Amino acid sequence: MDPKLIAQANLLSLLNELQEQYSVLVPIRKGETRFYEPLSVLKPQVNQGAGANPGSTLNDFVVGEVRAFEPLKTFFFQAKQKVAENYQDTAPRKQAKPLCIVGAKACDLKGFKVLDAVFMGDDYLDPFYKTAREENLIISADCTSALEVCFCLSLQVDPYPKENFDVNLSDIGGSYIAEAGSDKGTRLLEKHSGYFQEPGKDQLKKRDKQRAEVAEQVRNNIRSNGVPAQDRLAGAIQKNYENPLWKEEAETCVECGACNTICPTCHCFLLYDQLGDRDLVRYRLWDSCLIKDFAKVAGGANPRPQLWMRLRNRFEKKFDYFPKVNDLYACTGCGRCILACPGKIDIRNVLKRNVENVRK
Ligand code: SF4
Ligand code: SF4
């Protein structure tokens, strides 16, 4: 299907219409950060008196700009999921209104490749993740700017979506180029064709120019931080396995696990049994490989008792093990872990140190 054009007002009408079928989540600008909020709670923009706090309004809704604070995995691989009760598996419930997530960015969509390999691979199928992947609708968007921490291009992720979306929007100022990326997306554009028109050549050129400009911003970030390209990472972690850099980098780690929970590709979980008055309930909870007990086994043995070993393991998993078994780096260059880390451990710097040490 050829690209279409949709005016801003029509997009809002379309999203309002989609609320009959979906719970629509949209990115909201709050200072420097973007957070997802339900479209249904946004108020129309009204003039407020001094000191009034109107909550989020439609004026805070952004389609383009940069990725949201929350990784997209939050809506597909939930932080806490009941998976069994009294030894019986819990089946995923069909949602009366699945999610329609608007404005998802390319780095988070790349995260699906990692999560799909884990939760929908040949060996294991997670019914909760699979149901969410099938039910939810993704209306993604190009990045129209880049954060200083964005380095997606060094992991071969362009700052505009190429896959894993139903419809993608490119904000060209007052209107959007819309492209279908799945059968579901094509059907959506066809069903609501009254909102769309054909884009002109100049509008398509504007989108392409904007894409090139944002890519250049990301390349500048990569250059100024000396982030190595993906093809230079192969083997680097193994070659530095005994390098003191891991102990040095781990010095400021406080073992909070924020780098794991904020990451769109981190997917480790633990199963936790909770005994209530009458029922035994099993939950699947997000886990963090930086936490001391992560790898502890029955009997108390721990293969990674030192914090620096766990930090090294995080990099080994993302940049060595995962590419070996899945031909895929488990990092999308979203930069979230850089901002989240209270120890100021910068993944770009750790990768740079690994590659530099290989050269020496
Ligand atoms: S490791 Fe850091 S930069 Fe890479 S995807 Fe995860 S949060 Fe983003
Ligand atoms: S976010 Fe930083 S301090 Fe927290 S566990 Fe990760 S590396 Fe350590």
> How far is ligand 2, taken at its centre, from the CA of residue 70, in Å?
17
Q: Which atom of ligand 1 is nearest to the CA of 314?
A: 1
Q: Which atom of ligand 2 is nearest to the CA of 252?
A: 3
**Are the beta carbons of 86 and 279 closer than 8 angstroms?**
yes
Q: Ligand 2 within 6 A of 173 CB?
A: no
pLDDT digits 0-9 by tens, 222-256: 999 999 988 888 889 999 999 999 999 999 999 99
Give residue 281's pLDDT: 95
* C-alpha–C-alpha distance, residues 218 and 334, integer Å: 11
pLDDT digits 0-9 by tens, 141-168: 999 999 999 999 999 999 999 999 999 9
User: How high is the mean pLDDT of the chain?
Assistant: 93
Q: Ligand 1 within 6 A of 265 CB?
A: yes
Strand partners, 125: 120
pTM of the model: 0.93
Give residue 57's pLDDT: 81
Give residue 166's pLDDT: 98
Q: Ligand 2 within 6 A of 340 CB?
A: yes
SS (H, E, C) 15-45: HHHHCCCCEEEEEEEECCEEEEEEHHHCECC
* C-alpha–C-alpha distance, residues 86 and 40, integer Å: 37
Give residue 230's pLDDT: 87
Mean per-residue pLDDT, 108-115: 97
Q: Which helix (H) or strand (E) holds 191?
A: helix 183-191
* C-alpha–C-alpha distance, residues 90 and 84, integer Å: 5
Nearest CA to ligand 1 atom 8: 334
Locate tokens 């932080």: which residue?
79
123 falls in which pLDDT band (50, 70, 90)? confident
Nearest CA to ligand 1 atom 6: 263
User: Probe ligand 2: pick from 259, 293, 315, 331, max atoms within 8 Å of CB?
Assistant: 259
54 falls in which pLDDT band (50, 70, 90)? low
Q: Is the pLDDT of residue 137 over 90?
A: yes
Mean per-residue pLDDT, 272-283: 92
Q: Which helix (H) or strand (E) holds 221?
A: helix 201-225
Q: Ligand 1 within 6 A of 143 CB?
A: no
Q: Is the pLDDT of residue 358 over 80?
A: no
Give residue 193's pLDDT: 96
Q: Which atom of ligand 1 is nearest to the CA of 318?
A: 1
Retrieve residue 303's tokens: 């293969």
Mean per-residue pLDDT, 39-58: 71
